[in-house]
Amino acid sequence: SQQGEEDPQALSIQEGENATMNCSYKTSINNLQWYRQNSGRGLVHLILIRSNEREKHSGRLRVTLDTSKKSSSLLITASRAADTASYFCATDAVGGAGGTSYGKLTFGQGTILTVHP
């Protein structure tokens, strides 16, 4: 299986409900990031969590990271129809001299979220 696998592949919920997406990865990471993509357009960065962090919040977003299980989750609370999009996790792997990142991210397969009004 690939770095950055996500589940579910698709999620359909009603407005006001919470949406949870999960991401698993294989290698050691410096950080894990979540991105959003609206219908085939460019990706927008949502949140970054470092390997030494366990939980992070940004507005209605909550991200957790469990490095022992190599997994992360993204929770969107009180969802809105405008949250309808594809969500991708991306891992920033440890690599190069001194364990620093060499700059590239590896993206998961993504979760398609549909929020019904």
What does the binding site for another protein look like in residue numbers (CB under 8 A)? 4, 30-31, 33, 35, 40-45, 48, 50, 88, 90, 92, 100-110
Of 21, 20, 18, 13, the residue nearest 90 (C-alpha): 21
How does 10-46 read in b/e, with b if 16+ C-beta sit within 10 Å? ebebeeeeebbbbbbbeeebbbbbbbbeeeeeebeeb
Closest approach, Cβ 37 to another protein, in A, equals 8
Q: How far is the CB of 95 from another protein (least distance, A)?
A: 10
Nearer Cβ to another protein (59/117): 59
Q: Which C-beta is closer to another protein: that of 18 or that of 50?
A: 50
At closest approach, how far in Å is the CB of 15 from another protein?
25
Is the CB of 99 or the CB of 117 nearer to another protein?
99
| Residue matched to tokens 């700059």 | 103
